[in-house]
Amino acid sequence: MAEQNLVEIEGLKKHFPAAHKQVVRAVDGVSFTIRRGETFGLVGESGCGKTTIGRCLLRLIEPTGGAIRFAGRDLLSVGRVELRDLRRQMQIIFQDPYSSLNPRLKVGTIISEPLEIHGVGDKQARKERVAELLRVVGLDPDYANRYPHQFSGGQRQRIGIARALALQPDFIVADEPVSALDVSVQAQVVNLLQDLQEQFGLTYLFISHGLAVVKHISTRVGVMYLGKLVELAPAEEIYSHPLHPYTQALLAAIPSPEPDLPKPAVPRLGGDVPNPIAPPPGCRFHTRCPHAMDRCRREAPAFSEVAPGHFAACFLHHSVATPSI
């Protein structure tokens, strides 16, 4: 049976107005698919546009151009009523477990709010559902009567996950869900997300700026730089055989638990990420790339398949296809 795409993004653009009639090209022509039941990891430095993609996908912000399809339906053409119904199937876990929970509401009210908005069950049924969700994410059902400030960051993020599960969605955008947590708690939350995926058949878009976190949860990984995808491959391949110089640099920057072991010789990136208002011509990465050629400064490399299932936007790999590992 062929794998079914739950989400299809084609040529997605999101430009924000800036001063003096300029435009910030936060997302500038990104295309990829997310298969039903998989975790698609989206990584890159802060400001590369990955969170913007997640919010465009849910239409929390409106895209400037491109197409988004969810379960075969064109998300950008549906009206408010249809979109409201579709949002029962699409939820989000926010990055900050502190600001994403209303401090004035009890936990039970926070988790039951999506049920009330969509008219699911009566008061007693919603109360029972809240207790069930708290148990599912590893919290005591009695916590429903407490306020967010009474919990640790990890517990708050579990509450956020419970809220995202309330309507039994098919798809969840996890927007850097562990970046604000201690390292020891990060592993617990990632393991919880994996368990929930297996239990409920969930599909994830897992957004992160750290390749180390994404490695343990993702089926495939897309790497973004300055509003564009520069590499996409199965997780195992992108970690064992990265093709794009930017991906190689990100992997080399991951701290090693055994610092005395030799690491691959990858040149460090110099300079800063260019201004998205005026991205450099040609390949957007050429100003920091240790392998930049004259062609890179003139032409933008196509995002093309250079090995089965392995895509990259780099002239180093366009002339000869690289064998897959």
| 112: nearest Cα among 129, 96, 100 | 129
pLDDT over threshold 70, residue 127: yes
pTM (predicted TM-score): 0.93
Q: What is the pLDDT of residues 180-223, one digit of tens each?
A: 889 889 999 999 999 999 999 999 999 998 888 898 899 999 99
Question: What is the Cα gyration radius of the chain?
Answer: 21
pLDDT over threshold 70, residue 2: no
Element (H, E) at 287: none
Q: What is the pLDDT of residue 264?
A: 63
User: Domains in the chain, start-ordered, CATH in brackets?
Assistant: 5-89+169-317 (3.40.50.300), 101-168 (no CATH)
SS3 304: strand
Q: What is the pLDDT of residue 55?
A: 97
pLDDT over threshold 50, residue 155: yes
Distance CA 162, CA 164 (A): 5
Q: What is the pLDDT of residue 125?
A: 97
State the pairing for strand pair 65-70/73-74: antiparallel
Q: What is the SS3 string spanning 150-184?
A: HCCHHHHHHHHHHHHHCCCCCEEEEECCCCCCCHH
Residue linked to tokens 């391949």: 237
pLDDT band, very low/low/confident/very high, at 254 (cuts 50, 70, 90): confident
Q: What is the pLDDT of residue 202?
A: 98
Give the residue ranges of DSSP H helices in 166-318: 183-200, 211-215, 235-240, 245-252, 294-298
Q: What is the pLDDT of residues 231-246, one digit of tens each?
A: 999 999 999 999 999 9
Q: What is the pLDDT of residue 165?
A: 98
Q: What is the pLDDT of residue 213?
A: 87
Q: What is the pLDDT of residues 73-116, one digit of tens each?
A: 999 999 999 999 999 999 999 999 999 999 999 999 999 999 99
Inter-CA distances, 290 with 60, 228, 253, 287, Å: 38, 19, 15, 9
pLDDT over threshold 80, residue 266: no
Q: How many helices, marked H, and strands, marked E, lie in the chain?
A: 10, 12
For the segment 250-270, the average pLDDT, to the nearest whole number, is 74
Q: What is the pLDDT of residues 10-34, one digit of tens each?
A: 999 999 999 999 999 999 999 999 9
